[in-house]
């Protein structure tokens, strides 16, 4: 039997009927991983009125039996659903394709089969409607979400923590990024997912670890804080993951690991991750302020930014470093198409769009000039 998929319309939060039809309207498509999503945004002055629709179809249930994302299943599912999601997003926004000024799709990085589905759909619509096509860097979608929801001004420091990336960047403007640090092994979301798997908690791991940790004691296990105290801004999470595995094996030795043990492990893992993020962000803030002495904003983005405990740990920096911390609403931290439509809108307003022969990019760094971090491999 085919597993069910879950459709949810995000952000009643921002949902408002479009008020001013002179606003620019962009349709966005996201299909780079395990969510098929479509959204319509506009450039209303008030952030509350910008998201006109935002539908996300999660493939979680299709991948769950395999304990992780199967690229072939993901691509086929995107292909099956993208058209009706686009229609849904237009209907929810109460607009037609004739009202749309441009169409944005994730052009990479991501699982290439899925990216191709979104890009081809967007190119077809752009070509029939004779409107601009914008191939959006998925990471730029995450990076600019805070400007969709909170009117954050450039430049700002960005902690980008997702399933595939863990980076600190200075966001200087649309298309202008300076990478200060990256992970040399796992991304933080990946470490959450792998840890959840080790503890038998299933997929996707991040939200389950957070929920399980709520009943746990984060001081019980003294897990390592990789890179803590080092004077640069890179990350490493494989040592933390290995230490967690050893603890699990120790507790499992008698075959009687308890639910409380698991909750305490999740909480301890989360606290270790929180300490690392605070330490790395403190270093990055120094570097940011060396370049921009008036810089006072730290934005957190990507799926892991949905974690409330990590958000509250990072808010410690507001007082300690005299900055304001901006974390978009959880539903806009995890993958969605409103962020892709918004990044497309920002690029189009800057006079930028892409030709219809754009080739999807499995790898697409935000700062192509950043020196490779030793050992970082493809995550650089």
Binding residues for ligand KG4 (CB under 6 A) = 33, 162-164, 189-190, 192-193, 204-207, 210, 302-304, 306-307, 334-335
Region from 225-233, 332-340, 347-355, 372-380 binding Zn ion, contact rule CB under 5 A: 332-340
CA distance 351 to 36: 27
Give the tokens for residue 170: 């200075």
Q: How far is the CB of 185 from ligand KG4 (least distance, A)?
A: 14
Contact by Cβ (8 Å): 52, 40: yes
The DSSP output letter for 165 is -
Q: How far is the CB of 310 from ligand KG4 (least distance, A)?
A: 7
Helix (H) or strand (E) segment spanning residue 194: helix 188-198
Task: List the interface residues with Zn ion, window 146-185 (CB under 5 A).
Answer: 162
Torsion of CA 327, 182, 10, 55, to 10 degrees: 150
- The closest of 273, 247, 77, 114 to 193, measured between CA atoms, is 273
Which sign does the torsion angle of CA 338, 343, 345, 346 carry? positive
Torsion of CA 82, 88, 94, 95, to 10 degrees: 20
Contact by Cβ (8 Å): 336, 39: yes
- The closest of 140, 76, 79 to 107, measured between CA atoms, is 140
Nearer to Zn ion, 23 or 34 (CB): 34
Q: How far is the CB of 149 from ligand KG4 (least distance, A)?
A: 15
Q: How far is the CB of 78 from Zn ion (least distance, A)?
A: 15
Cis peptide before 145 (omega within 30 of 0): no
Q: How far is the CB of 335 from ligand KG4 (least distance, A)?
A: 4
Neighbours of 12 (CB within 10 A): 10
Nearer to ligand KG4, 188 or 370 (CB): 188
Q: Does 283 bind Zn ion (CB under 5 A)?
A: no
Region from 241-249, 257-265, 304-312, 334-342 binding Zn ion, contact rule CB under 5 A: 334-342
CA distance 226 to 244: 13
Residue 102 binding target from Zn ion, ligand KG4, none, CB below 5 to 8 Å by type: none
Neighbours of 96 (CB within 10 A): 9
Nearer to ligand KG4, 114 or 206 (CB): 206
Nearer to Zn ion, 34 or 335 (CB): 335
Residue 269 binding target from ligand KG4, Zn ion, none, CB below 5 to 8 Å by type: none
The only residue of 43, 264, 335, 354 in contact with Zn ion, by rule CB under 5 A: 335
Q: Does 190 bind Zn ion (CB under 5 A)?
A: no
Nearer to ligand KG4, 193 or 354 (CB): 193
Q: How far is the CB of 378 from ligand KG4 (least distance, A)?
A: 14
Nearer to ligand KG4, 248 or 304 (CB): 304
Nearer to Zn ion, 262 or 327 (CB): 327
Cis peptide before 204 (omega within 30 of 0): yes
Pairing of strands 156-161, 166-173: antiparallel
Q: How far is the CB of 139 from Zn ion (least distance, A)?
A: 8
Nearer to Zn ion, 33 or 90 (CB): 33
The residue ranges that bind Zn ion (CB under 5 A) are 162, 335
């Amino acid at each position: 039997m085919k597993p069910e998929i879950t459709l949810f319309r995000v952000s009643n939060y921002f949902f408002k009927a479009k008020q001013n039809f002179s606003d620019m309207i962009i349709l966005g498509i996201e299909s780079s991983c395990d969510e098929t999503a479509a959204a319509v945004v506009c450039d209303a002055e008030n952030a509350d009125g910008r998201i006109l629709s935002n539908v996300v179809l999660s493939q979680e249930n299709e991948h769950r039996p395999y304990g992780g994302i199967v690229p072939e299943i993901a691509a086929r599912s995107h292909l099956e659903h993208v058209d009706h999601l686009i229609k849904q997003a237009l209907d929810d926004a109460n607009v037609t394709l004739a009202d749309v000024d441009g169409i944005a799709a994730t052009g990479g990085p991501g699982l290439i089969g899925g990216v191709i589905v979104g890009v081809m759909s967007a190119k077809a619509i752009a070509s029939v409607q004779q409107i601009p096509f914008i191939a959006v860097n998925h990471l730029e979608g995450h990076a600019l979400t805070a400007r969709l929801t909170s009117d954050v001004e450039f430049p700002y420091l960005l902690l980008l923590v997702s399933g595939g990336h863990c980076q600190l960047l200075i966001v200087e403007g649309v298309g202008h990024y300076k990478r200060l640090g990256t992970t040399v092994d796992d991304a933080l979301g990946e470490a959450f997912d792998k840890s959840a798997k080790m503890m038998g908690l299933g997929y996707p791991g991040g939200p389950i670890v957070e929920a399980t940790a709520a009943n746990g004691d984060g001081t019980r296990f003294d897990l390592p804080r990789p890179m803590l105290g080092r004077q640069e801004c890179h990350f490493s999470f494989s040592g933390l993951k290995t230490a967690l595995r050893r603890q699990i094996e120790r507790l499992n030795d008698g075959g009687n690991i308890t639910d409380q043990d698991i909750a305490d492990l999740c909480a301890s893992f989360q606290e270790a991750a929180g300490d690392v993020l605070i330490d790395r962000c403190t270093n990055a803030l120094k570097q940011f302020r060396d370049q921009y002495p008036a810089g006072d904003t730290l934005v957190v983005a990507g799926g892991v930014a949905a974690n409330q405990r990590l958000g509250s740990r990072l808010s410690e920096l507001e007082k300690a470093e005299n900055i304001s911390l901006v974390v978009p609403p959880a539903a806009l931290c995890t993958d969605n198409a409103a962020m892709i439509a918004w990044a497309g809108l920002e690029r189009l307003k800057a006079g930028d769009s892409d030709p219809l022969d754009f080739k999807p990019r499995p790898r697409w760094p935000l700062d192509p000039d950043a020196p490779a971090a030793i050992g970082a491999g493809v995550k650089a």
